[in-house]
Structure 1
Amino acid sequence: MRYFKGYCLLLISILLLTGCTYVEKSPSNTKLTIESYSLSENESLLISKTGVEQIEFFKLNGTLKEEDDLQFSVEVFENGKFKEELLKTWDEVQTIYEDSVISFGISDRRVEDQSLELLNGIPSGLATTFYPNNMTASTFSKLIEGEITLEKNKPIYLAAWLGTTKNELRSGGGGDGELPAGIKDAELAFIYKVLWIDK
């Protein structure tokens, strides 16, 4: 009986120590995925009431380590050459993404002030800016098909708006998250980008 009590005490002590020393750690193999998000009929109706003519939505899933971050931005190209990066934002608020919705949209304000309103929807909010616009034709398209797995320090391009004052324009095209080939023919292009980086 004395040995039985000793074994029980030892077992309880081990269980208590094991339970008290458990610390949740960041995952060692971080996996982040992005896929296109299709709107329901009601969601499409709601978006149509906002005045945003062109918008694409995406779902983000995965877990970031504490030392990592996600950067969202819009790259601007003029005549096929990189010009600048707009709406560069970091999502330092979150490290866990479960069907988090992100978006890129464009609203043409040509009648009011000859500009485009760019909208960058990230999990923790919305960033907007205006850009001068005298393009007479444009195309807007998604740049991914299915699910894409992010790689650290490798940009994924999700959507593209291409504009021209000429009579023809190649579409954004592509489904692999790369820069679209049609960017060379566009006088003006906005490319929505997500980048997994160190904090």
Structure 2
Amino acid sequence: MRNFKGYCLFIIFTLLLTGCSGVEKEKPSSNTKITIESYNISEKEKMLISKTGVGQIEFFKLNGTLKADDNLQFSVEEFENGKFKKELLNTSDGPKTKFKDSIISFGISGMEDKDHSLKLLTGVTSGLDTTKYSNNMTMSSFSKLIGEKVTLEKNKPAYLVVWLGTTKNSLSSVESENGELPTGIEEAEIALLYKVLWTDKEKK
């Protein structure tokens, strides 16, 4: 059953990423601009995703043009009591430089597992990247951090989604403006933040 759910999830992400995204490989223009905004999925898409075992997921639309020596990095960072602890996952979109309504996403599954381990899912236009995250949290929340369209600034991270975890009986909410590092994460025992960063390509 787990293999079947994993296969279904892969197919759904493939359909979303190919059917809803436009990635062009034309020569990038000199006017570099990258924007991100929420993407609201249809009822049919919600029904399909509900059959994959994914507990929570948020989708976003990516538009704009990169220069040839630029890169977009998608990562998940762990914060403990408001302080950065480590990077759990990092992926990029490779050689792609032009994006037109390209779909990216961050989601989690496995919340019902007895060991409280989570499967973190990062969808980019080139595919799906996953990693496992073990924890002992007994209460959690999952929320989107942006409401309006956000324009990326080079070398400045944009935080799109947060997962909060606690072993206590209550969980405070966090707030973010235009993708800034959210305020209030210092009140959470654990915070997982989905981040997008526009940066230079690493030189080989």
TM over 0.5: yes
Any conservation in 1 of the 2:36–2:151 contact (CA below 8 Å)? yes
- Which of 32, 57, 60 is matched with 1:58 structurally? 60
Any conservation in 2 of the 1:136–1:165 contact (CA below 8 Å)? yes
- Following TM superposition, by how much is the alpha carbon of 1:175 offset from its aligned partner in structure 2, in angstroms? 4.1
Structure showing greater Rg: 1
Partner residue in 2 for 1:48:
50
- Following TM superposition, by how much is the alpha carbon of 1:168 offset from its aligned partner in structure 2, in angstroms? 1.6
Any conservation in 2 of the 1:142–1:173 contact (CA below 8 Å)? no
- Following TM superposition, by how much is the alpha carbon of 1:120 offset from its aligned partner in structure 2, in angstroms? 0.8
- 1:83/1:185 Cα in 2 relative to 1: closer, same or farther (>3 Å)? same
The gaps in structure 2 that reach 5 residues or longer are 1-25
Determine helix, strand or coil for the equivalent of 1:45: helix
Any conservation in 2 of the 1:93–1:124 contact (CA below 8 Å)? no
Partner residue in 2 for 1:147:
149
- Following TM superposition, by how much is the alpha carbon of 1:25 offset from its aligned partner in structure 2, in angstroms? 5.1
- Which of 29, 32, 57 is matched with 1:30 structurally? 32
Measured in 2, the distance between the counterparts of 1:86 and 1:175 equals 24
Q: How does 1:15-164 map to 2 (within 5 A)?
A: 26-164=28-166
Measured in 2, the distance between the counterparts of 1:139 and 1:113 equals 17
- Following TM superposition, by how much is the alpha carbon of 1:153 offset from its aligned partner in structure 2, in angstroms? 0.4
| TM-score of the aligned structures, taking structure 2 as reference length | 0.82
Q: Deviations over 1:18-38 (max 9, x none)?
A: xxxxxx853111011000010
Measured in 1, the distance between the counterparts of 2:195 and 2:108 equals 15
RMSD: 1.4
Measured in 2, the distance between the counterparts of 1:110 and 1:45 equals 19
Measured in 1, the distance between the counterparts of 2:27 and 2:134 equals 47
Identity of aligned residues (%): 66
Q: How does 1:159-174 map to 2 (within 5 A)?
A: 159-174=161-176
Measured in 1, the distance between the counterparts of 2:80 and 2:117 equals 15
| TM-score of the aligned structures, taking structure 1 as reference length | 0.84
Any conservation in 2 of the 1:156–1:178 contact (CA below 8 Å)? yes
Measured in 2, the distance between the counterparts of 1:37 and 1:66 equals 27
Measured in 2, the distance between the counterparts of 1:76 and 1:156 equals 15
Q: After TM superposition, what 4+ stretches of structure 1 lie above 2 angstroms from structure 2? A: 108-114, 172-175
Any conservation in 2 of the 1:169–1:182 contact (CA below 8 Å)? no
Any conservation in 1 of the 2:115–2:136 contact (CA below 8 Å)? no
User: How many residue pairs are counted as aligned between the two chains?
Assistant: 176
